[in-house]
Amino acid sequence: MIGPHKRILVTGGAGFIGSHLTETLRLDRCEVVVLDDLSMGRRENLHEAVEFHQGDVRDEDALRRALKGVDAVIHLAAKVSVRASTDDFINDASVNVLGTLSALKACAGTGVRKFVYASSMAVYADSPEPKPINEDYACRPISPYGVGKLASENYVLDICPRMGVAPVVLRLFNTYGQGQTFTPYVGVITIFIRRLLNSEPPIVFGSGEQCRDYISVDDAVTACGLALESDCGGQVFNIGTGTPVSVNALAEKLCELINPEIKPVHEAERPGELRNCIADAGKARRMMGYNPLGHVFDQLEDLIDYHKSLK
């Protein structure tokens, strides 16, 4: 159960993580409200019982309408591309920073008691080795996306207590799963699978030895629910598995599963992308009871079957 929170606003709730989360909350007998501009999300991702408001998270009127009777907010709405943020940093900051500030401002004087903010591993400095890092690791982002996420974290942690709202920050690592919108920039697993199913090689940027921590969308949803349930206001949590997987290993495994005749190709590395970022999620385990699913490779065949069903 989600605990005392009965009416919950999910910004960006028609998107990838959001649509999984809203369905989980609905099945847990919560009243769910979604605010989404549908730039990435889709209305058909949501059950008819979900109260839907189409609007931009920077729109104060839309926020006020969506917040009526709400006692908790899970703020997912964001531009989520590291690569795109380097080219369009103004729009990235407008949505990710000003959008967060708008959501915070709209909560003032309402019945909102908890604000869960979905941040990112992109807030961290690059790590020289693929070893798990905890929440005290240096926060020196190397992309505009990471800069905006870190700024928003600090705003959330500073402003919420002034309003009597308990803030929780979740630093999500590389999230994968069914329903991820295909773009050229976000979701390497989705991108690799789609290319291989189209008989195209996966493209690896740089050496491919850079390591990531891939978490199931179910883990991200579980973490959001635990953040609502737990008495952990004012805390920041890594949400990952602690298991490093190189991009080369991921590409090779997907080639093996889909089409062994195809081999990955390499292109020049892209700016703003971390070489190594693996989560030490011990704090989330201790304080919230977070327990991630198994290795990403164990989930790949089901994910491939899902993408085949879409063709």
Q: Is 145 a catalytic residue?
A: yes
Q: Which residues pair with 33 in a beta bridge?
A: 9, 51
What HEC string does the chain produce? CCCCCCEEEEECCCCHHHHHHHHHHHHCCCEEEEEECCCCCCHHHCCCCCEEEECCCCCHHHHHHHCCCCCEEEECCCCCCHHHHHHCHHHHHHHHHHHHHHHHHHHCCCCCCEEEEEEEHHHCCCCCCCCEECCCCCCCCCCHHHHHHHHHHHHHHHHHHHCCCEEEEEEECEEECCCCCCCCCCCHHHHHHHHHHCCCCCEEECCCCCEECEEEHHHHHHHHHHHHHCCCCCEEEEECCCCCEEHHHHHHHHHHHHCCCCCCEEECCCCCCCCEEEECCHHHHHHHCCCCCCCHHHHHHHHHHHHHHHC
Of the residues 117, 145, 176, 214, only one is catalytic, namely 145
State the Cα–Cα distance between residues 210 and 247, nearest whole angstrom. Answer: 6
Active centre residues (catalytic): 145
